[in-house]
């Protein structure tokens, strides 16, 4: 089926749930009418230009020929339309050609782009991260020389972290940067570099982690460098090819149209971004941007799988209807199929609301008074690992449900349901595995200001519980009871982790993944409840209720998993686990 841009749901979530109206005094060009126009136009691009290339891209895949990456036919024209439409510049600063709109609106647009064609979306998504890193850490010269072309989409950007011997543990990086006059020369190999090479734009700007000759060991000795595919003259024109190249592209489970490159740096000219040995801090600016956008990938791919499953459930006739007694009823008339679809819808809506709430917090953290900025910065930092991990887990789960609704036909490639499952599976892995996000949440984020960020979040959830209890709608009361029980479980688990993480780190680490799921479920249930209170649409109350009874009801069990400790893990051996 063709992709349907969820314009109504996006606008509702943005303004009624994530609270984007608070941004209007700080962004002159931003209001609900402007947002509606931008969403409609970007939805047309996603539906009419990008979505038709999704299946072709999966079947054809990017190619590596004669030492160069060849994108899928049609991608270059689609990228040109994307860039010329200004979709790369929505949230960038006007001084570099950006439109100065909120990140939250950019997230809405990118959800549709990811949903229509995840492989395509990865290219501009990483450019957004490069823009973010340069805008925060770049010199004035670097900003003037590189930002306008990145913002316009005339050039693309990449992020080069991983090496064969060093995956998520960046302390093991070996790529080196040797001083060379006013700049540096980069030597080394990077792997898993998304869109590391292509011919859709005249230049690609690589942000590369490397070590200086006198750098200390570990992550304290990493610096960040900028190495363009083609050297850039001081007047902005392109010079000679730089000494870097792709060696190959990976053969992957999914996202076949997105070239994942092995990159060789053979004395490539580069310049330092930020201070020496502060590369990890600089790169985290880019990574946090990417983590939110990867969470949005989870939303997008889940929504695409849900749309197809809903359409198939209405078209496919099989079995007797439980309600009408019809002999050849659509799948939609079977209670369990309808339950699955409602749960899919609930998880899509919840993941979208989490990502948009994170984006609104990021926007608010840059405006307003100091107290406002501090509050919203804490909320952004707390929600970022949840947005990335919880939403990408939802992407895989909902895509799997979509295959299940299709039955045997879902396991066949021709329906397309399997592609969503294959594409979704990478999202919990890259930009920091979801276990790493859980450790970040349990460790640094839970400890921020002595637990203030979590306390403030749960306080906000409790206010919604009170509103549900005061509602004349009896179904709201049921949601409130479940949400209140889940808040109690989250408070108990948070207190246990805070107490254990200092003197019993293995116990806290063993419970970190369960804790992220628990806090993600509570946040999701809260935002669905807010949606139910804000809308007279029975559907929103229905999906909030099914989420409450199916997901929030498990919160006490998740809390028990958080607080189980690590003794069973410590005492087990590999030999005991062997068959």
Give the active site residues.
Answer: 431
Dist CA 272 CA 178 (whole Å): 11
**What is the spatial distance between Cα 537 and Cα 98, in angstroms, rounded to a whole number?**
37
Cβ neighbors of 151 (< 8 A, separation 6 or more) are 88, 89, 92, 93, 96, 97, 98, 131
Bridge partners, residue 460, by sequence:
none
Radius of gyration of the chain (CA): 24
Which helix (H) or strand (E) element contains residue 440?
Answer: helix 434-440
User: Could you tell me if 512 and 385 are in contact, meaning their C-beta atoms sit under 8 angstroms apart?
Assistant: no
Cβ-based burial of 140 (10 A; exposed 0-12, middle 13-18, buried ≥19):
exposed
Cα 383 from Cα 391, distance rounded (Å) = 11
User: Which residue, 79, 11, 5, 14, is CA-closest to 43?
Assistant: 5
Tell me phi and psi for residue 275, to 5 degrees.
Answer: -85, 155
Q: What's the CA gap between 255 and 274, in Å, rounded?
A: 33
C-alpha–C-alpha distance, residues 206 and 150, integer Å: 11
H/E run at residue 244: strand 244-249
3-state secondary structure 43-54: HHHHHHHHCHHH
Torsions phi, psi of 270, nearest 5?
-150, 165
Q: Which of 260, 251, 89 is nearest to 158 (CA)?
A: 260
Alpha helical stretches, state H, 194-278: none
| Closest to 196 measured CA to CA, from 284, 267, 269, 123 | 123
Close Cβ partners of 80 (under 8 Å, ≥ 6 residues apart) = 200
Count of beta carbons in the 10 Å neighbourhood of residue 174: 13
Residues 6+ apart with CB under 8 A from 354: 295, 383, 386, 387, 390, 391, 520, 523, 524, 527
Six-digit token string for 63: 């190619």
Closest to 161 (Cα-Cα) out of 436, 386, 441, 430: 430
Please state, in angstroms and rounded to a whole number, the distance separating the CA atoms of residues 398 and 211: 41
- Residue 42 sits at the vertex; the CA angle it makes with 40 and 48, to the nearest 5 degrees, is 95
β-pairing, 204-210 vs 183-194, is: unpaired
Annotate 333-378 with DSSP letters as a single string. Answer: GSHHHHHHHHHHHHHHHHHHHHHHHHHHHHHHTTSS-HHHHHHHHH
Q: Find where tokens 């749930």 sit.
A: 17
């Amino acid at each position: 089926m063709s992709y349907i841009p969820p314009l109504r749901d996006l606008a509702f979530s943005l303004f009624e749930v994530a609270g984007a109206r608070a941004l209007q005094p700080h962004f002159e060009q931003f209001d609900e009418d402007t947002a509606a126009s931008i969403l409609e136009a970007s939805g047309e691009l996603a539906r009419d230009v990008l979505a038709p290339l999704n299946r072709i891209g999966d079947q054809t895949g990017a190619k590596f020929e004669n030492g160069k990456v060849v994108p899928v036919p049609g991608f270059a024209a689609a990228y040109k339309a994307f860039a010329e439409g200004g979709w790369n510049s929505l949230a960038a600063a006007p001084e570099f050609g950006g439109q100065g709109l909120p990140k939250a609106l950019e997230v809405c647009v990118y959800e549709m782009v990811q949903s229509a064609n995840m492989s395509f979306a990865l290219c501009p998504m990483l450019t957004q991260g490069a823009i973010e890193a340069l805008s925060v850490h770049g010199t004035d010269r670097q900003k003037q020389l590189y930002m306008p072309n990145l913002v316009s989409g005339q050039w693309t950007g990449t992020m080069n972290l991983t090496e064969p011997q060093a995956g998520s543990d960046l302390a093991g990086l070996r790529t080196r940067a040797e001083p060379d006059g006013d700049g540096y020369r980069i030597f080394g190999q990077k792997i898993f570099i998304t869109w590391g090479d292509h011919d859709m734009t005249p230049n690609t700007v690589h942000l590369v982690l490397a070590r200086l000759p006198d750098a200390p060991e570990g992550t304290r000795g990493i610096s960040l460098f900028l190495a363009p595919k083609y050297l850039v003259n001081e007047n902005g024109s392109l010079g000679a090819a730089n000494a870097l190249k792709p060696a190959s592209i990976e053969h992957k489970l999914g996202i076949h149209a997105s070239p994942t490159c092995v990159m060789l740096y053979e004395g490539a000219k580069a310049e330092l971004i930020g201070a020496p040995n502060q590369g990890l801090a600089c790169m985290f600016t880019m990574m946090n941007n990417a983590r939110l956008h990867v969470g949005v990938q989870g939303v997008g791919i889940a929504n695409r799988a849900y749309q197809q499953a809903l359409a198939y459930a209405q078209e496919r006739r099989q079995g007797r209807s439980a309600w009408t007694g019809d002999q050849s009823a659509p799948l939609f008339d079977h209670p369990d199929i309808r339950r699955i679809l409602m749960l899919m819808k609930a998880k899509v809506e919840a993941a979208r609301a989490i990502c948009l709430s994170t984006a609104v917090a990021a926007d608010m953290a840059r405006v307003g008074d100091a107290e406002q900025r501090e509050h919203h910065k804490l909320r952004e930092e707390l929600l970022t690992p949840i947005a990335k991990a919880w939403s990408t887990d939802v992407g895989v789960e909902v895509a799997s449900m979509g295959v299940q609704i299709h039955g045997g036909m879902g396991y066949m490639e021709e329906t397309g349901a399997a592609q969503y499952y294959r594409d979704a599976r990478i999202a919990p892995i890259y930009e920091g595995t979801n276990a790493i996000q859980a450790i970040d949440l349990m460790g640094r984020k839970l400890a921020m200001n002595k637990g203030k960020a979590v306390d403030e979040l749960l306080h906000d959830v409790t206010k919604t519980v009170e509103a549900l209890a005061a509602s004349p709608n009896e179904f709201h009361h049921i949601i409130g009871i479940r949400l209140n029980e889940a808040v109690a479980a989250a408070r108990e688990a948070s207190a246990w982790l805070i107490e254990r993480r200092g003197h019993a780190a293995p116990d806290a680490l063993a419970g970190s993944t369960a804790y992220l799921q628990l806090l993600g479920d509570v946040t999701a249930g809260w935002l669905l409840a807010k949606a139910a209170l804000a809308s007279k649409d029975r559907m929103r109350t229905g999906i909030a209720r099914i989420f409450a009874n199916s997901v929030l009801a498990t919160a006490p069990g998740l809390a028990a998993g958080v607080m189980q400790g690590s003794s069973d893990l410590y005492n087990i051996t590999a030999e005991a686990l062997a068959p």
